A and B are shown apart, each in its own frame.
Chain A
Amino acid sequence: QVQLVQSGSELKKPGASVKVSCKASGYTFTSYGINWVRQAPGQGLQWMGWINTNTGNPMYAQGFRGRFVFSFDTSVSTAYLQISSLKAEDTAVYFCAREVLTMGYRFDPWGQGTLVTVSS
């Protein structure tokens, strides 16, 4: 079955970097883009952007340009989210999700989420 499995929780100090992985299985990795969504504690879903796994072209939403980098490795069907210069306000669960295009645009499935905690 189609599945996205993310890496485990991370505890980082302010100013450090973190790299979250998202391993895809059950489908052709390069046929679907990967989106990233942030959910701060007790808050809603915030779209961070997506990466085209065919062309390699990333698109970053407002507020996620500069310190956030999307990448992937097709040889292991894995997408990555790297965040640099971490701040306390980056503490959140980060989800990857496969894009599905029909009449509309939806995310299906989602990874299980990776909790990134930024604390000194």
Chain B
Amino acid sequence: SYELTQPPSLSVSPGQTASITCSGDNLGEKSACWYQQKPGQSPVVVIYDDNKRPSGVPERFSGSNSGNTATLTISGTQAMDEADYYCQAWDSSTVSVGFGGGTKLNVL
């Protein structure tokens, strides 16, 4: 299976920028996406194809992917952004989907 690594947690103050990283072998050669999951809810896509936002996702969410690292950036973080965030990518060499272990974003 394809392994992706995320920091377990990140804390930011409201209004600050949160950057969550996701590392994997040659991840920059694949397309990464990011999910937000709030307690008791299903995951929701916030970024796909490295840097595209689905309709309805606020502009403060952005993404990038280069080398071995994909990054989810939340500018002007709000209290409502407190959630778990997961990166995900498809790896054709292992024919598998990899998820990162998840990052708990605390806004305090």
The residue in chain B whose Cβ has the minimal distance to the Cβ of A50 is B97
- Determine if A104 and B33 form an interchain contact, defined as CB atoms under 8 angstroms apart: yes
The residue in chain A whose Cβ has the minimal distance to the Cβ of B98 is A47
How near does chain A come to B73, taking the closest CB pair, in angstroms? Answer: 18
Overall SS of chain A's interface: strand
Q: Which residues of B contact A112 (CB under 8 A)?
A: 42
How near does chain A come to B24, taking the closest CB pair, in angstroms? Answer: 13
Q: Which residues of A contact B100 (CB under 8 A)?
A: 44
Report Cα–Cα, A47/B32, bound state, in Å.
15
On whether A106 and B45 interact (CB within 8 A), knowing A45-B99, A47-B97, A61-B1, the answer reads: yes
By the criterion of a CB under 8 Å from any partner CB, how many residues of chain A are at the interface? 23
- Determine if B31 and A103 form an interchain contact, defined as CB atoms under 8 angstroms apart: yes
Interface 0/1 of B76-108, CB less than 8 Å to A: 000000001010111000011111111000000
How near does chain A come to B16, taking the closest CB pair, in angstroms? Answer: 25
Report Cα–Cα, A104/B34, bound state, in Å.
12
Report Cα–Cα, A103/B33, bound state, in Å.
11
How near does chain A come to B53, taking the closest CB pair, in angstroms? Answer: 12
Does A69 belong to the interface (CB within 8 Å)?
no
The residue in chain B whose Cβ has the minimal distance to the Cβ of A6 is B42
- Determine if B31 and A113 form an interchain contact, defined as CB atoms under 8 angstroms apart: no
How near does chain B come to A27, taking the closest CB pair, in angstroms? Answer: 16
- Determine if B86 and A104 form an interchain contact, defined as CB atoms under 8 angstroms apart: no
Interface 0/1 of A100-120, CB less than 8 Å to B: 101111111111110000000
- Determine if B90 and A104 form an interchain contact, defined as CB atoms under 8 angstroms apart: yes
Does B25 belong to the interface (CB within 8 Å)?
no
Does B54 belong to the interface (CB within 8 Å)?
yes
Report Cα–Cα, A102/B49, bound state, in Å.
7
Q: Tell me the chain A residues, 8-44 only, with Cβ under 8 Å from chain B.
A: 35, 37, 44
